[in-house]
Structure 1
Amino acid sequence: MYSRTSLVARILAAAVLSGVTLASATGHAAGSDKAFFDRVSGQWKGPGEIVAGKYKGTKFTCELTGASIDQGPAGLKMDGFCRVGVFKQPMTATIKRGGKSYTGTFLDGSEGKGLDVISGNVAKDKVVVGINRKKLNGAMIARLNDDRTMNITISVKVDQTMVPVIGVSLTRQVDDIAVGSIKP
Structure 2
Amino acid sequence: MTIYTVILILFFLEITALNKIRLFGVRPELLLIATIFFGFHFGMMRGMEVGLISGVLKDVFSIALFGVNALLFLFIGFLSGFLKKSLFKENFITQFLFSLISVYVISAVYFLCLDKTVAGEGISLTHVWAGALFSGGGTMRGGVHAASFAEQFWRACWYKGLYTGCVAPFLFFLLAKVLEINDDTHE
TM-score by length of 2: 0.29
More helix by share: 2
Bigger relative contact order (CA 8 A; separation at least 6): 2
